[in-house]
Every structure is written in structure tokens, then in C-alpha cells.
Structure 1
Amino acid sequence: MLMMRQPKTYVASRFYKHQKLKEQAKHFWLRCCRVRTGMMKDMLRRALVHQKFGRKQKGTVALKLRQERLDAACAEHDLEQKQLKGGLRSCGAMLSNKSLTILSIYEPKTFQSLVEVAQRARIEGIYANHVELPDRRLSASKPNKKLTSGVY
């Protein structure tokens, strides 16, 4: 039986894979020079897994922080976040939570005026629904009291 040699491309590709692995693991402070390739692969794999987990968590943490900041800013003006968003939506001002948070931190006077607009819109909305309805009579001889609809 003849023993077949592996082609040179296998040796070259293995060398370049090892160099790529060293390049990815160079932030481990020269430790890649002292450890074997198997340990280096494990360390790199573990680091990449934790990096992916951190990227997943980043969005949820930022969202929670933004919500807490907006709640605190609304609490300063004796208003809830839902009331602020509803009032602004009824006025036609579609601002995201991120932009409201930035306004509350860096431009408190602008945020205060937005809160006032939202409160006015909320009050006007309550009184706009309080409209008298026409008389409702069951018979021509006994008139009913005027009924009103609205939020009290």
C-alpha cells in the first residue's frame, strides 16, 4: 500500500487558521503564546459567547433605564407617563420615549412645556366628551331628565 501525502493546501490552511485564531485572541495579553491551541479555542469561544450575551442584554437594559428616567421626569411634574404620552398623542405630537427622555434631561423647560400641553389636552378631552344628549321620551306625557355622557 502506498501512503498518500496530504496536499500542501491542508498544511497551509491549518497554519492560517492558527494565525487567525491568534489574531482573534490577542487581547488576552500574550497568553495566546503560552497556551496550547485547544485552550486558546476554548477561551476565545467562551469570550465570544459572553460577548453575544452582552449584546443581547444591552437593548433591554437601555430600555429599562430610559423608562425609569422618563418616569422620574414625569413624577417631578405630578404626571404619569401614560398620561403624558396620551396627551401628546391627542395633540398630534408623536415623540418617542427616547426623545422625551433626552428632552427631560438636557432641556427641562421644553419638557415642562410639553407636560403642560399634555395636561391641557387631557383636560380638554374630558370636557369635550361631556356633551348633552337630546331628550329621550318614552311617552309624550312624561319627559325624562336630560342625560349626559362623559368621564367624571
Structure 2
Amino acid sequence: MVFISTVLRALRDHYTPTPKWMFALKSPSRLYKRNQMKRMGAKYSGRSRNCYILGVLRSLRAMRYSTKGLESKEETLDRLYETRITAACLEHGMDKNYFLTSLAENDINLNRETLSNLAIYEPRTFQSLVQFVKERSEEIGLQSKKLGYVYGTETRGILDEVRKHRWNRGDEVD
């Protein structure tokens, strides 16, 4: 008996009890969340670094604004891709919408980001894609103002173009 009590006394002296604040949290997941929020607030200066509640509020606000920035970045990149593709198509004498639909019809699955990168960094590849669309549309007999007039077909759009051209020159309109 004496020996056991001596061992227990020695263990008690070396044993560090669990802090009382850990019992107040009631679950390890709450402790993990609390430590995670403390780590997120460690980069701030002032009271929001030392006070838990202020650090949490500041971290939540930072996360809210970070997602807003991502949305605006995506919109900006989409507009950039559209502008690049439009400019490259106009440079090669092709309408952008016609170009994109023709690529889709011919099972050439390139997204807008890839097409804009091709237009900027590999202009000859983009030129070959435009040339392919032009040749393919001539094979199947499609016409477009950008592709030129196909003899023997007259549409309302072509007649309107002729009338506008004559009116601007000052000729008599039928």
C-alpha cells in the first residue's frame, strides 16, 4: 500500500491537468474551429490579432470579400476572351458568332479561353482555323457577308445592303 501511494503522489506531481477552458468547449470540433479561426487571425495587427471575437469578425469579412473578387475576376476574364476572339476574327475577315457556331458544328471543341490564347500567342493556328471554317462553309454552300456572295442566291439582307449602298451614293432607289 505504501508503495502505491508513493507512485500516485509522484504521478500527481508530474501530471498536468486539462485546462478548464477545454471543458467549456464540450467537443473537439469546436476546439478545432476555434484554433483555426485563431490561425486565420494571426496575420492581423492590433486587437483583431489578440481578441478572438474581433479576429473572427475580421476573418469572416475577409472571406466574404475574397469571393466577390473571384466573381469579378471571372467576368473580367470572360470579357477579355470575347474581345480577343472578336479582334482576331475581324482581322481575318470573319464574324465571331459565325466562326464559333461553325467550329461547334464541325466538332472542334475549343473553349473561349483556348481560342483567345491561340489568337494572341499562335496567330497562324488561329488563321488555319478561320481558313478551315471558310472552306467548310463553301463546301456545304453556306453564305455570309464575311465569306462573300454566292452567285444565284439573293436574300433580303443582301437586297437591303444594295439599297443602302445605292442610297448613300445618291443613286435612284427602285
Per the normalisation by structure 1, the TM-score is 0.64
Aligned-partner Cα distance in 1 for 2:47–2:134: 61
Aligned-partner Cα distance in 2 for 1:108–1:28: 47
Which residue matches 2:24? 10
Out of 101, 106, 109, the residue aligned to residue 116 of structure 2 is 101
Which residue matches 2:14? none
CA contact (8 A) 1:88 1:121 kept: no
CA contact (8 A) 1:77 1:115 kept: yes
Aligned-partner Cα distance in 2 for 1:123–1:82: 17
Per the normalisation by structure 2, the TM-score is 0.57
Which residue matches 1:89? 104
Alignment map for 1:19-30 (pairs within 5 Å): 19-29=35-45
Gaps of 5+ in 1: 1-5, 131-147
Task: Give identity over the alignment, percent.
Answer: 26
Q: Is the alpha carbon distance of 1:100 and 1:93 closer, same or farther for their aligned partners in structure 2, counting shifts above 3 Å?
A: same
Does 2:124 align with 1:112? no
Which residue matches 2:67? 52
Aligned-partner Cα distance in 1 for 2:109–2:79: 20
Out of 101, 123, 129, the residue aligned to residue 138 of structure 2 is 123
Counterpart residue type for residue 43 of structure 2? H
Out of 73, 76, 91, the residue aligned to residue 88 of structure 2 is 73
Q: How many residues align?
A: 127
| Greater relative contact order (CA < 8 Å, ≥ 6 in sequence) | 1
Q: CA deviation at 1:73?
A: 1.3
Q: Is the alpha carbon distance of 1:30 and 1:90 closer, same or farther for their aligned partners in structure 2, counting shifts above 3 Å?
A: same
CA contact (8 A) 2:43 2:49 kept: no
> Quick check: which one's helix share is greater?
2
- Larger gyration radius, structure 1 or structure 2: 2
> More displaced, 105-114 or 24-33?
24-33
Deviations 1:96-125 (A, max 9, x none): 222211211221111111111112223333
Aligned-partner Cα distance in 2 for 1:90–1:18: 54
